[in-house]
Amino acid sequence: MIYLAFSILFSSLIFVIFKLYAKYQVQIIYAIITNYFIACTVGVIYYNEPIHLAEIPQKSWFWGSVALGLLFILIFNLMATTSQKLGVSVASVATKMSLTIPVLFGVFFYKETLGVLEIIGIVLALLAVYFTSLKEQKVKAEKWAFALPVLVFLGSGTIDTSIKYFQDAHMPEEEYALFSATVFLSAGIFGLLFIAFKSTQQRLKVNFKNIIGGICLGVPNYFSIYFLLKALQHPTWNSASVFTINNVAIVMFSTLLGIILFRERLTAKNWFGIGLAIFSIILVAFGQQLMTFI
């Protein structure tokens, strides 16, 4: 439970940092790439065993970590484009509703069983994400732009599902830190290639604020993944419960942080979504215990 709480906390801090990026005019793509290298460094420091670089490519999870790094960069750019074309709330809903993919993967691939209350909780969780992220604004965009949330949904769900798969099938616990570091290093390298390509079209500008922004993001970003891997080891919760609680709690907590730190105003629908989020978390986390009293 404590590992899941830490994952939620660090993931929510990421949203706060993104909000500060806008305030201090940090260029997101440069900060993101810096953040990946910082997160990799944190993983290397956190790894207690000696690191033999020649042995890492021989790990069964190595090529999967490289593919995840590429996905991180691709989905980040898709999320950024979705936010610009359709709004931040649309990108947020698409990202967090992707929890259905790892949930279904757990049920069909790992034969995880869900009780009636847990199923109700997951459905309510999806509604909670929608209502909490809802903004009262009309969106006008090109028709092709409406495919972006679908791609974000599929990509984010694939990332979560892959993390669960590699955690379960290819990694002893002592390699979590090394795996996370490799994923972030891969993402950073692909990010540099992306920037190198962009520099052929426009001049590359190195800004000290972007580096500081990346450093501030890298630490919570690393621990959000590391503690999620630890939470997936919970002896009584299945992966469906972990991903549902994690995603919904992040939406709820980051929304509350927005109110406290940035004086954001919520509509009645947003408050309804927060209430649903709390109720859904209770059903998913304690559904089996509650069934014994019914």
Cβ contact 83:29 at 8 Å: no
Residue pLDDT, tens place only, 227-271: 999 998 877 778 888 998 898 888 888 888 888 888 878 888 889
pLDDT of 139 strictly over 60: no
148: closest CA among 190, 85, 194, 97?
85
CA distance 55 to 156: 29
Residue 214: what pLDDT?
A: 92
Two tokens at 119? 């199923």
Average pLDDT over residues 204-219: 87
User: How many other β-carbons are positioned within 10 Å of the β-carbon of residue 7?
Assistant: 25
pLDDT in tens, 94-105: 887 888 888 888
Q: With contact defined as beta carbons under 8 Å apart, do 214 and 30 qualify?
A: yes
31 has a pLDDT exceeding 60: yes
Q: What are phi and psi of 285, to 5 degrees?
A: -75, -35
Q: Tell me the DSSP string of 114-142.
A: --HHHHHHHHHHHHHHHHHH--S------
CB-neighbour burial class of residue 47 (10 A; exposed 0-12, middle 13-18, buried 19+) = middle
How many Å apart are CA 148 and CA 194, to the nearest integer?
A: 19
Say whether pLDDT at 1 is over 80: no
Q: What is the pLDDT of residue 148?
A: 82
